[in-house]
Amino acid sequence: MFGRHEVNIFCEVPPNTASLFISCKSRDDDLGEHELRPGQSFSWHFRTNLFKRTLFYCSFWWGPKLKQMDVFNGEWDSMFKTYYRVYNYVANGEGIFLSNDPKNHSAGLGLVTLW
């Protein structure tokens, strides 16, 4: 599937705690480092390449906690027999969760990783 994809990262860490810092990249693009406070988000759009090799990965820092993970892999569609246009990642006090709902980033959240 060579459609347009969207990755959204939502900060829902508890108020009055450390900010969430993210740094996201692909082989060709460095999206920079971003500080997110509770209620803020960071998003980007892109199209997959012809060979489904598009890959974006992010580092998430919250205080002393660090997680690094792929947030989009063009091979996921064929691996999981699904096609999602939207990838909503929600970082909260427990960990990082994922929803593919294009209208509600909190709908159907599934755990990706605990802090």
Give the residue extent of every domain in the chain.
4-114
Flag whether the pTM goes above 0.85: yes
Percentage of the chain lying above the pLDDT 90 cut:
77
- CATH architecture group of domain 4-114: Sandwich (2.60)
Supply the DSSP symbol for 77: H
Q: Check whether 108 has a pLDDT greater than 50.
A: yes
The string over 66-97, giving b where at least 16 C-beta atoms fall within 10 Å of a residue's C-beta and e elsewhere, is ebeeebbebebbeeeeeebebbbbbbbeebbb
Tokens of 25: 């990249």
